Amino acid sequence: ATILAACTFGTASAADLVVGFSQIGSESGWRAAETTLTKQQAEQRGIDLKFADAQQKQENQIKAIRSFIAQGVNAILLAPVVATGWDEVLQEAKDAEIPVILLDRTVDAPKELYLTAVTSDLVHEGNVAGKWLVDTVAGKPCNVVELQGTTGSSPAIDRKKGFEAALAGKDNLKIVRSQTGDFTRTKGKEVMESFLKAEDGGKNICALYAHNDDMAVGAIQAIKEAGLKPGKDILVVSIDAVPDIFQAMAAGEANATVELTPNMAGPAFDALATYLKDGKEPEKWIQTESKLYTQADDPMKVYEEKKGLGY
């Protein structure tokens, strides 16, 4: 199948490539930046990008993929909203000899059903956030609340796992509440409000771990409205490194974030170009970097640098 695919597309140059992109939606600032950068990267390479916004629904993504297959695109980029339920449609793409590249989230499907996945190490990100918290509280008792990402999505599953691993055996740290905030600001604020209410107006909470910055930003608002100081009364650690969290860090209202690049498409298009030209299969996982930022890292400077990079 590999050789067949290479022959089928071996003559296509980037200039006449048509690529379908099934995007999840626009739940977060990070996601919006990824969309912007994917369009930019396609344009720079002369790729004709067919963009489909799934509005958070897997069924819309499956429909979009089937439509891309019917159109005979040269390749498909898929940011899978949840991890399961992809086997059938991925098999259809494979039967049509259309390579699929996963962006930013992983799937529970046989590896031969996609060409490669461009993602960060999502477990590691949660682990970095957890280690930061363990080190920062330095043995003091600390009740933690957790805002999870979209239920069933690989980042929600993995970021939870990695964080819990960092806290394992640290008896001073306890996750007292954990609920999904769906990766959005609105839900992050709403769920944080319920956490605060349930935990003595927030007096019983020492730290918030949010699976993305947008939920943290919403939660920061809720903490302020409850009359507490985010970043001080309640420590705030999250993931993504969007510009707004650096503003919050500069104001002392957020403490740490783990960076995730929104440029997943660049490496994906590079791998695709090599594959279509030489038939050379890329590694199954193209891993992007995860870097920790704290208030000590000149947040306003990082904010300025980030602005314009798709944000």
Q: List interacting residues with ligand GYE (CB under 6 A).
A: 27-28, 30-31, 104-105, 155, 183, 212, 239-240, 260
Q: Are 50 and 18 in contact (CB under 8 A)?
A: yes
Task: Name which of 8 and 51 has its Cβ closer to ligand GYE.
Answer: 51
Task: Name which of 45 and 105 has its Cβ closer to ligand GYE.
Answer: 105
CA distances to 118, 270, 305 from 32, in Å: 17, 21, 17
Q: How far is the CB of 25 from ligand GYE (least distance, A)?
A: 8
b/e per residue, 38-73, with b = 16+ CB within 10 A?
Answer: bbebbeebebebbebebebebebbbebbeebbeeeb
Using alpha carbons, select from 247, 242, 236 the residue that is nearest to residue 300: 247
Q: How far is the CB of 76 from ligand GYE (least distance, A)?
A: 17
Q: How far is the CB of 307 from ligand GYE (least distance, A)?
A: 17
Task: Name which of 30 and 163 has its Cβ closer to ligand GYE.
Answer: 30
Q: Are 84 and 157 in contact (CB under 8 A)?
A: no
C-alpha 42/C-alpha 132 separation (Å) is 37
Using alpha carbons, select from 65, 76, 67, 66 the residue that is nearest to residue 98: 76
Q: How far is the CB of 296 from ligand GYE (least distance, A)?
A: 23
Task: Name which of 125 and 206 has its Cβ closer to ligand GYE.
Answer: 125
Q: How far is the CB of 73 from ligand GYE (least distance, A)?
A: 23
Task: Name which of 74 and 127 has its Cβ closer to ligand GYE.
Answer: 127
DSSP codes, 67-93: HHHHHT-SEEEE--SSSSS-HHHHHHH
Q: How far is the CB of 231 from ligand GYE (least distance, A)?
A: 20
Task: Name which of 129 and 173 has its Cβ closer to ligand GYE.
Answer: 129
Q: Which amino acid is at 224?
A: K
What SS3 class is residue 123?
helix
The alpha-carbon radius of gyration of the chain (Å, integer) is: 20
Q: How far is the CB of 23 from ligand GYE (least distance, A)?
A: 10
Task: Name which of 193 and 240 has its Cβ closer to ligand GYE.
Answer: 240
